Amino acid sequence: MKPTAIDLFSGCGGLSQGLKQAGFQVKVAVEIDKETVNTYELNHPETITINKDIKDVEVSEIKNAANVDKIDLIAGCPPCQGFSKIGSLNKNNRYNDPRNELVMEFFRIVNGIRPNFIMLENVPGLLHYDLFKQIIFDLEEIGYFLDVKIVNIADYGVPQRRKRLVLLGSKLGSVTIPENLGLPTKTVRDFIYNLPNVQDSDDPLHKIHSSHGEKVKKIISLIPKNGGSRTELPKEYWLDCHKKNDVGYSDVYGRLSWDKVSSTITGGCLNPSKGRFLHPVENRSITAREAALLQTFPKDYQFSTHSKDKLAQMIGNAFPPKFSEIQGKYIKELIELVKS
């Protein structure tokens, strides 16, 4: 029998996809956004979805939906945008973002169900958050052995530079977040090089990318291929907003490199003004399908919308499946060890 899991703040299903690849049966997923739930259900029809604000979800509702004697794992990625690197730039508001308190909802559900294993993933800035420190204390008080680390998902077979905080807990004994696995670094080339040209593709998702006026098209065409940056352009082609002193975000209007990992895939991943999201050699942003592949979603993963902004948000906010698969396999091994 497969071990069972619950996915809180499930988004479009990246965490669930990885857990399924690791051999879990995801019984219940909780997600507030209806369009995102539609995408989740396209790919995980066997999972019961609860489309509500998690603050309005009772523990009993999750238990009834799961309809099993024991849940082995509760996993989730509570939104904490106030503690992201970008969010931290706005220091006056970072602590006031109400989404930051959703980590308490994660604890509430865990406390009500008491699975043998828990996993929480988030931005590294969460580590210094008082509520997170309180949750660590509270989890230990109810019997969880914990390991907390900041890791780079590029070390886990994901072709992306992305540091994340991971909390792993067990009621059965000490646990250690897998690291130093010796996996080869995967690159942009490994995941999107062999895709057909956009105009020749029969995949609607591969036809969705940014569109620009003639001035920006010209600028993009002049950015050196395979990793070039806007700073390498002749100054007459610099946008006015980039001519000011001490302008940050040097990656904007930058190209990905074929033989390196990509920059972090974010909710702005289909807009080159939001980061290094230009195709290595073609004069366009990466497509929605390319962004999903760089997040390690399967090639046939379905999305319920063709809205560019909504797709970028879903894909950029997702938990990379390959990363959760590795964590899931480790937890599954521990479950099987206890049962043997």
Give me the active site residues, please: 80
Burial of 89 (0-12, 13-18, 19+ CB in 10 A): exposed
Count CB atoms within 10 A of the CB of residue 286: 28
Tokens for 40, please give them.
């989740």
CA atoms within 13 A on the CB side of 157: 15
Alpha-carbon gap, residue 223 to 219, rounded angstroms: 7
Place of tokens 């950029």: 316
| DSSP three-state, residue 32 | coil
Edge-first strand order for the sheet with 25-30 is 48-50, 25-30, 4-8, 73-76, 117-122, 163-170, 145-152
